[in-house]
Structure 1
Amino acid sequence: MTPRPRPDNAAQSSILLTLRDDGPTSRAELGDRLQRTRARLAAELDRLAELGLVRDGGPAASRGGRRSTLVELDPELRFAGVDIGATSVTIEVTDASLEPVAAVEEAIDIRRGPEAVLDRVEDLLAKMRVGGHHNRLAGIGLGVPGPVSFRDGVPVSPPIMPGWDRYPLREELGGRHGCPVVVDNDVNIMVVGERRGGVARSVDDLLFVKVGTGIGCGIVVGGQVYRGVDGCAGDIGHIQVDPHGPMCACGNTGCLEAMFGGAALARDALAAARSDTSPALAERLRTHGTVTAADVGSGAIEGDPVCIGLIRDGGRRLGGVLASLVSFFNPSMIVIGGGLAGLGHLLLAEVRSVIYRRSLPLATRNLPVVLSELGPRAGVAGAVALASELAFGPVAR
């Protein structure tokens, strides 16, 4: 497949990113914002039009004198964001301004391995193409629930992803679609999405905590995602919170994830249902044959004391880890997202209580701890943002 053209230089890249974020803009305004002479801007726009990335959008509003011409991104440009979780995959296709065109979510089992999961992703993207939502993708962003070498585009020893270690995700997807591909940890794409279009808009120093099957933390420092030297910064799910706790998927004992991830909460809920200490969970077990983390949330809403206790216990453990991070990092915001964020304000209140009680007053007096505004869209929103930044970046020479 012939790759879609990319800009030649940083000047062209800045034009594309400005149009992505601000929409159709007059040539005069582009020149002012980017501090380009009229001749230089015209030359760069001519080249971008030749590449099929921008086009004229008609006359701009008059600023006095001769009217300038609007410039807009090619309306046929499309990006795809793919958020692969432990039990589901979400795909969103957007236009060049990152407005959603189509989306699909489907249950998957990540333990089936990369070939099976990617084949299903390919099937879903093909259905979206047949449906007229995209013809040729300009870029793909992919998030997976495990450590990722961002430089190499491969998962590295992911505890809950058997068979995925060092699988060449970036090369595989790029080869299938003939477009640039960016691969990152799922919580990193979530923090990008939330900062771009959620409650953390333009916040430059924040923590995004994903609480789902696994637990991770996306870190933004000075407006940039901090991934660490090898790409595994923020892996807070494997901080030990109880040396005598249960075995974790990583091989250690008492990790936060083993105490309060989605699988851990379902495990404790099942034990409560079988022992009949929780009437709400026992009823769900009799009715459905199993219980889930979501059932704990439902039971808590109904006032079941065991369900309320499970959420509070988990919130205290999570809050204790976050209190240490607040003392270390001093963020300006903490956002809680992921599937277990659906446990809502009971969980949030417990996390806040521990953070505010255990961290220094100076670090918490202006610290909001809030739920994600984008919810399940945070991952795909961040994935397409990263894909567009890669596709709109200049080709390496």
Structure 2
Amino acid sequence: MNTEQRTILLSGDDPNKRDYQSVVEKHGSPCLVYRPSVLEKQFKSLQSALPNVDLYYAVKAHPNSNIVKTIDALGGGFDVASAGEMDLLLKHRISGRRTIHTHPIKKDSEIRDALRFGATTFVVDNVYELKKLTAYRSRVGVLLRVSFRSESAVVDLSRKFGCEPNEVQQLVSEAESLGIHVKGLSFHVGSQCANAHKHAQAIRDCAALMHSINATAKTPMSSLDIGGGFPADYLLQGLDIDAFCAPIRQELNKLPADWHLLAEPGRYLIAPAVDSITTITGKSKRGGLFWYYLDDGVYGSYSGQIYDHTIYPLQVFKTGLTHACILAGPTCDSIDVIAENIQLPELEIGDLVIGLQMGAYTAATKTRFNSLPDAKFVVLDEHAE
């Protein structure tokens, strides 16, 4: 583990300490603490940074009813990729018309489930998927996903999905021959993309393709989905989303005013709105280092350290002389280690360890290894201003 990228916050009598202790006293440990007001702030900040772009929350980032409720109240749309995610929205009586189905590969039963739900916009990236939609052509519109490989992204999502730009014309022609309406193009520059210029280049390339194809198409394309990839501030450096999106806005401003622009943010919206509370349940000294055993780990809420390649900032409520130590999770597996050789004051059994920026791809990718209970999801400030 690269400890140089691990942000450690040390504090004594921090007001947050009392909040977290109160949560544990009431709900037990471990917990995931959700602040709707933070999600609201993130949503409005991204709206301001990307005016005229409709935001569709990527439900996969954290499929939770409380989060869906907040996005719904903000008027956001929803990016869904499975029947389970649609079922979650149904519980809140959210119309399928407010969704896009973005999984490029679907079973026929999944297409039918989506249509029953009311979803009508589907993402595809190859001719085989287009043909699956033939039976439903009068009910669907398609976004063709284009591949743009990105070295600056932590996870290159174009490795698995997306057609090559030079394949778009042929796919549009194939769709026309099948009687399927191609609404426009979509792309995803990759998860936790640090370089907005990749977004900007993809927008330029997609716009050029759309203009070229529209010149002869029977039904011109008029939708562009710029995907997700907007980063979370895991290093707590004060990310300025308006400045980050400046190159994106510059390219979007060049597009026709009647085009429908949409995005699929997940991580940027929800990551900072959820903190993890874990408790030290055991302590030992092995090989000259203190080992602290927590009640949550990489098989639980910290699963993103493995599956999402993310290192979360940590906070402890002690100060003083620090020592190299190891934070381990609760399972019997030796891979269940949250942090190695990090400098912390000596901690005691019962002390709290807080994980920050833990709203995205944490609970979403947890397992039930060792049959341990999930971290309880707690809404800390339900009435956001």
TM-score w.r.t. the length of structure 2 is 0.27
Bigger proportion of residues as strand: 2
Q: Counting helix residues as a fraction of each chain, which structure ranks higher?
A: 1
Q: Which has the higher contact order (CA 8 A, sep 6+)?
A: 2
